[in-house]
Amino acid sequence: MIIESELIRCYNIADNVEREMIDRMWLKHIKDEPCFYSGSMETAQPHHVRVAGACGIGLKPPDIYCIPINYIVHNNLHTKGISYVEDKFNIDTENKLKEMHNFFFYEYYAKIREVL
């Protein structure tokens, strides 16, 4: 899976300080979002989506690749896999995460960056 968005483009050219800021802002943003797959407002847990080029064996991807998911979906992702969850909820993770990134970028991050 490869996620291409304005937010990822900025993240990839940012220095470490700015990357940490983007990661913190993203985690704060998704904390109160509904479950990425089910839409449930149940307490969400951050789940790192495995993305080509952003992680390796034994390494988790940066927090910018986290999605909010509830406990049951989180358990299904780790036991049954992403294909099972995508099929169950009829959601394309790559496209939906790209949409979330673009919304976040244009509504929050780009405005903050203007001030910096």
pLDDT at residue 50, rounded to an integer: 78
Place of tokens 């700015």: 18
pLDDT at residue 27, rounded to an integer: 93
pLDDT at residue 57, rounded to an integer: 61
Q: Is the pLDDT of residue 53 over 80?
A: no
pLDDT digits (tens, 9 = 90+) for 16-39: 988 998 999 899 999 889 999 999
- Domain ranges for the chain, please list them: 6-115
For 110, the token pair is 């780009």
- Report the Cα 38 to chain-centroid distance in Å: 15
C-alpha closest to that of 107 among 3, 7, 2 = 7
pLDDT digits (tens, 9 = 90+) for 78-92: 899 889 999 999 999
Please check whether residue 49 is in contact with residue 67, taking contact to mean a CB–CB distance below 8 angstroms: yes
CA–CA separation, 47 vs 66, rounded Å? Answer: 5
Report, as an integer, the average pLDDT of 49-73.
78
pLDDT at residue 52, rounded to an integer: 52
- Report the Cα 68 to chain-centroid distance in Å: 8
